[in-house]
Chains A and B, each alone.
Chain A
Amino acid sequence: MFREYFMEIARGIPTSLLLTAVALAVAFVLALFLTFLLSMENKPVKRVINIFLTLFTGTPLLVQFFLIYSGPGQFQWIVNSALWPLLSNAWFCAMFALALNSAAYSTQLFHGAVKAIPKGQWESCAALGLSRLQTLKILIPYALKRALPSYSNEIILVFKGTSLASTITIMDIMGYARQLYGTEYDAITIYGIAGVIYLVITGLMTLLLRKLEHKVLAFERLEVEKA
């Protein structure tokens, strides 16, 4: 019984992982772009981005899922447009919702890291006669490394967030678990197995990310050793 349940639920693992990877990749690029825009210190641009950030960090992810998945269907002109095949696809919507949500949180993170860069570094770039954009190109990769420990958390959160995709008909780990519960009515075993699968994956991810942090942040420890 255990084995059968496990085999059934495990079929959702690739979907969950793929969804996490694609959403994260899109979110990372988007967040990087938004961080650049935010750091350029242009008032109107900043205001627009801040509205986006407030919208996506201030509302539940579940609402965002439903809004993106079933919202566009209300407008006939969207249904008739060329975008409809994409917007009516549950997989695309789940990825899109997760990506936008994660992009909002990551932008806050990255922007915080950029603001935390010591003033002397901005000054030395200015002294070299670099423009704002050139300065950012140098300083943002540095800030990103510093932000990695918090970004690891975000990665785990996105993976946990994929479980909500089951509410819009996607068959991920949670989706198969819920389907199985619908026929077998054995909540503790079924959700227990799903829970163990999630725990093993988050555990492995945490371990790998900690290794990565150790590697990427090696330059900081060097400074400490020298001092």
Chain B
Amino acid sequence: MFFEYLPLMSTATLMTLGLAVCSLIAGLVLAIFFVVLETNKFVCVRKPTAIFVTLLRGLPEILVVLLIYFGSTELVEKLTGEYIEFSPFLCGVIALAIIFAAYASQTLRGAIQAIPLGQWESGAALGLSRGYTFVNIILPQVWRHALPGLSNQWLVLLKDTALVSLIGVDDLMRQASLVNTNTHQPFTWYSFAALLYLIITLVSQFFMRKLEMRFTRFERGVK
């Protein structure tokens, strides 16, 4: 009885992981984009971005997910008059990426500011453009400062993926409820789902600790 549903749960676990990884990648790109906009020379770009990011962090995550999923269809219908339904997976990734980026951009901005101004100046002295300096000199050093914050946000993202079950992505949470409607064993299946989430969290915590050690090895000196 229990084992019948295990294949379903393992596919759902992969779905959750895929969702989280896609959102992480999209979210990181978006976060860098937010940072670039927020540190822009022009106030008329800087201010609206800062306000947008702050507003985003004040909204409940579930609202963002629902707004993007149901709102996107409506927006397209209003603009083009056609009814197109976007895939829940895509909408989930977009929503999670935006939420992740709103928080991660703060961490990244702090990390960039932690890098001495002299680095920028030496880049300029070598005749490198601002963009080149940023990508090749500043960014590699940023990870070192940003990693603890980002790894926390990855854990938050992982847990937020459960919300996407509400728009119909067959992730761990939704699969657990589906199996529950078949078997009427809510406790067994929800706690099994919780256990799987816990395992993913603990495993990623382990790897992040390793990664942090690697990134800061030259600060701690060679043993």
Contacts and interface: CB of A to CB of B under 8 A. Distances in A.
Contact of B59 (A71, A177, A186, A198): A198
B8 interface: no
The interface residues of chain A, by DSSP majority, are classed as helix
Interface in A62-98: 62-64, 66-67, 70-75
B190 interface: yes
B193 interface: yes
Interface stretch (B21-29, B36-44, B64-72, B111-119): B64-72
A163 B194 CA distance: 20
A195 B186 contact: no
Contacts of B30: none
A191 B162 contact: no
B98 to A, nearest CB: 13
A74 B184 contact: yes
A59 interface: yes
Most buried by A among B59, B73, B190, B202: B190
The interface residues of chain B, by DSSP majority, are classed as helix
Interface in B140-192: 155, 159-163, 165-166, 173, 176-177, 180, 184-188, 190-191
B60 A163 contact: yes
Most buried by A among B55, B62, B74, B188: B62
Interface in A151-168: 156, 160-161, 163-164, 166-167
B70 A181 contact: yes
A94 to B, nearest CB: 14
B45 interface: no
Given A55-B198, A70-B180, A163-B60, A60 B186 contact: no
A174 B70 contact: no
Interface string B179-220: 010001111101101100110011000000000000000000
A62 B173 contact: yes
A188 B187 contact: no
Contacts of B73: 187
A58 interface: yes
Contacts of B75: 188
Contacts of A206: 58
Most buried by A among B161, B187, B191: B187
A63 B184 contact: no
Contact of A164 (B59, B62, B176, B188): B62
Interface residues of B, number: 39
A60 B62 CA distance: 12
A19 interface: no
A67 B190 contact: yes
B194 A195 contact: no
Contact of A160 (B61, B66, B155, B193): B61
A173 to B, nearest CB: 9
B63 interface: yes
B190 A70 contact: yes
A194 B63 contact: yes
A70 B161 CA distance: 21
Contacts of B191: 67, 71
A226 to B, nearest CB: 29
Contact of B186 (A66, A164, A178, A188): A66
A179 interface: no
A134 interface: no
B58 to A, nearest CB: 4
B70 A58 contact: no
Interface of B: 55, 58-63, 66-67, 70-71, 73-75, 155, 159-163, 165-166, 173, 176-177, 180, 184-188, 190-191, 193-194, 197-198, 201-202
- Give the 8 A-B CB pairs with smallest separation, nearest first: A187-B70, A60-B162, A163-B60, A71-B187, A70-B186, A60-B159, A202-B58, A74-B187
Given A60-B162, A156-B58, 5 more contacts: A58-B202, A59-B198, A60-B173, A164-B62, A174-B62
